[in-house]
């Protein structure tokens, strides 16, 4: 079984957002897979995907705080500055976290650990809606 579908993710403010439910609800065919993989690929270069803690919202606040310090806006070494102060840092953050996730599927569900959720990491101030290409394959 192969399935590929583009999923639109609603626009979110800059920061780290839990989107597990939004992704799973867009992929009801997950339920047909006995064993397989779910590949999620964000079609953008200034937002990213990650897997991390799904419980405390302050974890996601701290992600934003750390990344802003690690990849500072307005640093004197940036040369790509025409698209806004946060644009070049957004590209670096997106590369560090990456545009894609490969998640195992077991018995019709994403096989995530108890505390794992899917983050949409929005690195732009006004990134707008984001497009995700999901690919599912495996055995029924």
Identified binder of a copy of itself from the candidate list 22, 29, 53, 85, rule CB under 8 A: 53
Using rule CB under 8 A, residue 100 touches a copy of itself: yes
Closest approach, Cβ 25 to a copy of itself, in A, equals: 20
* Pick 21 or 102: Cβ nearer a copy of itself: 102
How many angstroms separate the CA atoms of 58 and 140, rounded? 38
Q: What angle do CA 90, 96, 98 make, to 5 degrees?
A: 90
DSSP 88-130: HHHHHHHHHH-SEEEEEEETTEE---TTEEEEEEE-STT--SE
| Contact positions vs a copy of itself (CB under 8 A) | 2, 4, 35-37, 39, 41-45, 50-53, 56, 58-59, 61-63, 65-66, 69-71, 77-80, 88, 91-92, 94-104, 106, 111-116, 119, 131, 133, 135, 137-139
């Amino acid at each position: 079984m192969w399935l590929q579908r583009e999923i639109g993710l609603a626009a979110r403010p800059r920061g780290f957002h839990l989107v597990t439910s939004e992704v799973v609800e867009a992929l009801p065919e997950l339920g047909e897979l006995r064993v397989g993989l779910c590949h999620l690929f964000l079609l953008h270069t200034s937002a990213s995907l990650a897997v991390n803690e799904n419980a405390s919202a302050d974890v996601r606040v701290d992600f934003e705080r750390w990344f802003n310090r690690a990849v500072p806006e307005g640093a004197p070494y940036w040369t790509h500055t025409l698209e806004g102060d946060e644009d070049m840092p957004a590209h670096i953050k997106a590369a560090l976290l990456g545009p894609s996730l490969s998640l195992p599927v077991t018995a019709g569900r994403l096989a995530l650990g108890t505390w794992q959720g899917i983050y949409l990491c929005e690195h732009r101030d006004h990134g707008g809606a984001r497009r995700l290409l999901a690919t599912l394959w495996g055995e029924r």
